[in-house]
Structure 1
Amino acid sequence: MEESPSIPTERTSKIVRRSIFIFLKHYQHFTTIAALFIFPVSVSILLSQAVLPSLSPLLPTIQARLQSLFDAAGFPPSSQLFSLLSLKLSQTICSSIVTIPFTLSFLLVAKACVIRGFNHCKPSPPASIFSLAFLYSRLFFTYINNCFVILAANATTFSLFFLAFNSFAAFGFSSPNFLLFLSAAGAILYSVILANTFIICNLALVVAGMENCSGYLAILKAFVLLRGRTSIALSLALPVNLGLAAIEALFQYRVVRDYHLSVKFRPSMALEGLLIAYLYSLLVLLDTIASCIFFKACKSSCQKSLEGSHNYQIDLAQEEDKSIFTIRKTLQEFP
């Protein structure tokens, strides 16, 4: 696969158009990756969200534990924020437990294949397998570190909630209207922190594949690359997440709802579910391609900034040398 050219500006529309162009140009290669590697992950995600809430006893257990933890921390029981958070977090934990084997295997292999294509690697087949395994090991180690970063972001946010709610309660600010306002501010803060954490972790996987690094070093490099470009990364992540949510809603409506209404499983329902899962896989693949192009754009912009700074320092040094030479010449001519 040919290496994508550098993007002169980092506008979201250009990155999206370039991602679609590269996907269509190498359609056969990318659809093979989506069918072989991302498709099992998509099926596991869609099925876990459909089956776990009604069948697994793990969900109410985790939700009860989280609610007990929030009550022990002194969060107001009247606030709907923490009831919603306990429900969403328990659903996310249950779904992650089911999908983590597929994510650590199939999804990381798919990302390694895409990143290897952007690295312009065309070795012989044995070396190709070796390079893919090397990329996978770096992505695996970075993904594990990403999990700890996400846990740390959640723990930090809940610590801020604990300090805020208990401090205001100690000063007597405990009216329902004030708690509603504080809950809304807390929900916005939680969304902003998680959104920034997820885009850093997502870019860190690309950095680990493109650069010779992994783990926390890749996360740190991703954080540095995103400085001043967070809005672009968020605007790239927003349509992808909306599209994934729309596909999940379509699966719930067309497959899960029909199954509960008819109380039997039909072959047409299975085919429709597989098609929806494949659309989910293609969207995840496009997100990976866009992340690779965004990384190249960020790195190109950083290199141009460094070159400009270096040229400015050279010009400044030359001007200083000229000034010193002029002063010396003036002093020599002075009687």
Structure 2
Amino acid sequence: MESSSSKIVRRSIFTFLKHYQHFTSIAALFVFPVSVSVLLSQVVLPSFSPLLQIIHARLQSLFHAAGFPPSLPFFSLLSLKLSQTISSSILTVPFTLSFLLIGKACVIQILHHPKLSLSSSLSYFAFLYSRLLLTYLCNSFVILAANAAAFSILFLTFNSFDAFGFSSPNFLLLLSAAGAVLYSVVLANTLVICNLALIVAGMENCSGYLPILKACVLIKGRASKALSLALPINLGLAAIEALFQYRVVRGHHLYDRYGPSVALEGILIAYLYSLLVLLDTIVSCIFFKSCKSASQMHSQGRYNYQMGIAEENNSIFTYSKALLEIP
């Protein structure tokens, strides 16, 4: 029977506590540099204002060329947020491609092959990291394609309604709200599939676009459960980022210096961020195992049903043949 969301969360917390020493070491050695880079990128991003301004100007030019109404605050806010996300991703991509994937590979190896010898563990870890790296690069293209598809739908929608004369401010505001919901749904499902694809690449012998296709098959009919599992993690990450902004960045702007207490508090916040990222990987692994077992049980049930029908037909045929042979 397929596990519910609450049961998956409980199993994930139990797994984390069961391998507490291993997971805390992974969070401190590998995930912690990624967390520090993500949190510090919000501080140093204003220093890279030329990069941010260039990306923002390019996105605004793209939206203007596509025919989106420039007066709507939705597209101005969207271009600003996208430019900030792209700039932050550029600053943190070296840590993501190295430390984050190494941390995910360690978690997958602990949960999937916990009893390997040292030599076998090192060789398997190198093979596992190469699969995760290739899948992560393919995930980047899939996310880019999803954004392009969402913008294409918005482009066709806005221009079609504008051609038919529906250009009142209230209607455009309602349409932009619907577009925001559509874009959020597309992006959320894409991120969930890409996150699950990394787990599929680690748990099974595949890489590239094949784990993404397998993730799409596994998540079919389970999208709401996957989103319900990802939502608390993302809310927690956003809360920790807000805490870092309030306690560390705000303290720097108020006192114009970083004291030992502020630095220690920033390290603690970054470590909490690392633990939450690690817990997200564990939840994804447990969710993958739940989907896999449910799919296997469904396939076995269909096979038993077909075999039962075949045996029943064979019995009917044998009985009919016996009746015909009676003199």
- Range class of TM-score, shorter chain: over 0.9
Give 1:78's aligned residue: 71
Between the aligned partners of 2:323 and 2:20, the Cα distance in structure 1 is 70
Structure 1 residues 56-103: Cα deviation after superposition (integer angstroms, max 9, x where no partner): 321111111101110011001111111111011000100000111000
The one of 109, 116, 119 equivalent to 1:123 is 116
Query: How high is the sequence identity, in percent, across the aligned residues?
Result: 71
Between the aligned partners of 1:259 and 1:227, the Cα distance in structure 2 is 47
Cα deviation for residue 54 of structure 1 reads 4.8
Give 1:191's aligned residue: 184
Cα deviation for residue 266 of structure 1 reads 1.1
The one of 131, 136, 149 equivalent to 1:143 is 136
Cα deviation for residue 118 of structure 1 reads 1.2
Cα deviation for residue 123 of structure 1 reads 2.5
The one of 11, 30, 33 equivalent to 1:18 is 11
Structure 1 residues 279-330: Cα deviation after superposition (integer angstroms, max 9, x where no partner): 0000000000010000000000000000000000000000110111122222
Equivalenced residue count is: 327
115-124 or 179-188, larger mean C-alpha shift: 115-124
Counterparts of 1:209-220 in structure 2, within 5 Å, are 209-220=202-213
Counterparts of 1:64-213 in structure 2, within 5 Å, are 64-213=57-206
Contact 1:41 1:106 in 2 (8 A): yes
The one-letter amino acid of 1:42's match is: S
The one-letter amino acid of 2:271's match is: Y
14-23 or 146-155, larger mean C-alpha shift: 14-23
Between the aligned partners of 2:32 and 2:247, the Cα distance in structure 1 is 18
Cα deviation for residue 142 of structure 1 reads 0.2
Between the aligned partners of 1:13 and 1:121, the Cα distance in structure 2 is 25
TM-score normalised according to structure 1 size: 0.96
Contact 1:37 1:106 in 2 (8 A): yes
Cα deviation for residue 51 of structure 1 reads 1.9
Between the aligned partners of 2:47 and 2:232, the Cα distance in structure 1 is 29
RMSD: 1.0
Give 1:5's aligned residue: none
Between the aligned partners of 1:195 and 1:53, the Cα distance in structure 2 is 27
Contact 1:42 1:280 in 2 (8 A): yes
Give 2:236's aligned residue: 243
SS in structure 2 of the partner of residue 221 of structure 1 = helix
Between the aligned partners of 1:300 and 1:262, the Cα distance in structure 2 is 55
Between the aligned partners of 2:102 and 2:89, the Cα distance in structure 1 is 18
Give 1:4's aligned residue: none
Give 1:44's aligned residue: 37
Contact 1:74 1:162 in 2 (8 A): yes
Between the aligned partners of 1:54 and 1:82, the Cα distance in structure 2 is 24
1:282 aligns with 2:275: yes
The one of 236, 248, 255 equivalent to 1:255 is 248
SS in structure 1 of the partner of residue 205 of structure 2 = coil
The one-letter amino acid of 2:249's match is: V
Cα deviation for residue 28 of structure 1 reads 0.7
Between the aligned partners of 1:292 and 1:155, the Cα distance in structure 2 is 29
Q: Which runs of 5+ in 1 are unaligned?
A: 1-7
SS in structure 2 of the partner of residue 57 of structure 1 = helix
SS in structure 2 of the partner of residue 61 of structure 1 = helix
